[in-house]
Amino acid sequence: MDDTIQGIVLQSIRYGDTSLIVKVFTRSLGLRSYMVKGAFNRNSKSRAALFQNLHLINYVEASRPNKGSLGYLKDVQLSTVYQSIPFVMNKSAILMYISELLSKTIIEQEQNEVMFDFIVRSLLWLDLVEQDYANFPLFFTLELTRHLGFYPKANHETGYCFDMMEGSFAHDLPVHPYYFDNENAQLLAQMLNVSIDEACRMPLRVSQRRELLDGLIMFMRLHAPVMNDFHSHEVLKTVLE
């Protein structure tokens, strides 16, 4: 009996006239890449619409990809159909941001069920919530650093700044420019180790959200070099209000 694989579509690139190359982060196998032949054909069972970024899918491997090569998949189905994300402009902008963030940071092949489950839970939460989600990009970005191995140390005290290079709070300002000042460090500390609901209920001004997001992106860039070419957070300027 074929084993069904749970996956999150990270990226799909058109190949030729009718095919796709798809990158999928799976719960059981880690990062996988596949060729989907005939995805744009009218009668295809694996049509291109199934492979939009961050779609949650179930499928079976028709052939297992060797290292450095593409595999093939079959019996592809959406495991969840988003109810609001495709139809709410702000949520779609957040999804675009999350999609680029994950594509830039999930580059290893190893299985990571905890990270997979975190991403799925977060996407389903965003899809179902009707209001108070402007802080979601902040929460998601911060929590993703936990799964990537450089979550900030929870050593904050009143008056401390946050040293991005060290990943910890400090009494004295560092000699480099990569830090949160006292005010933003206090806000960052409040977001550590809280639930998504608690984080999204934090009352933040638009300027604070933008400064925190810019700082978190810089924090990611310092610890995940593949983040250097990253742009979609600029779109969120219309969302973080």
Model confidence over 82-131: pLDDT tens digits?
Answer: 999 999 999 999 999 999 999 989 987 789 999 999 999 999 999 999 99
Q: Are residues 55 and 95 in the same domain?
A: no
Instruction: Please check whether residues 55 and 118 belong to one and the same domain.
Output: no
Cα separation, 162 vs 143, in Å, equals 16
User: How many structural domains comprise the chain?
Assistant: 2
Mean of all residue pLDDT scores within the chain? 91
Residues 156 and 102 in one domain: yes
Identity at 150, one-letter amino acid code: F
The CATH number given to whatever domain includes residue 217 is 1.20.1440.120
Task: Say whether 175 sits in a helix, a strand or coil.
Answer: coil
Q: Can you give the residue range of the structural domain that contains 50?
A: 5-78
Domain boundary at 78, 104, 121, which?
Answer: 78
Amino acid (1-letter code) at residue 47: R
Q: Which residue has the higher pLDDT, 64 or 106?
A: 106
**Short-list 153, 132, 131, CA closest to 142:** 153
Is residue 239 scored above 70 in pLDDT?
Answer: no
CB burial of 111-136 (b: ≥16 within 10 Å; e: otherwise) equals ebeebbebbbebbebbbeeeeebbbb
Q: Is the same domain home to 91 and 142?
A: yes
Q: How far apart are CA 235 and CA 2, in angstroms?
A: 41
- Whether pLDDT at 1 is above 50: no
Closest to 125 measured CA to CA, from 209, 195, 186: 195
**Looking at the structure, do residues 105 and 177 belong to the same domain, yes or no?**
yes
Say whether both 154 and 209 belong to one domain: yes
158-204: per-residue pLDDT in tens?
999 999 999 999 999 999 999 999 999 999 999 999 999 999 999 99
Label residue 134 by pLDDT band (50, 70, 90): very high
Per-residue tokens: 191 = 């977001």
Quickly tell me which residue has 């050593």 as its tokens: 155
Of the residues 78, 100, 134, the one at which a domain ends: 78
Distant-in-sequence, close-in-space partners of 168: CB < 8 Å, separation ≥ 6: 152, 153, 155, 162
pTM of the complete model beyond 0.85: yes
Which of 75, 70, 57 lies closest to 6 in space, CA to CA? Answer: 57
Q: Are strands 161-163 and 72-78 parallel, antiparallel or unpaired?
A: unpaired
Among 206, 85, 191, residue whose Cα is nearest residue 139: 191
Write down the pLDDT at residue 101.
93
Same domain, 51 and 106: no
Residues 161 and 193 in one domain: yes
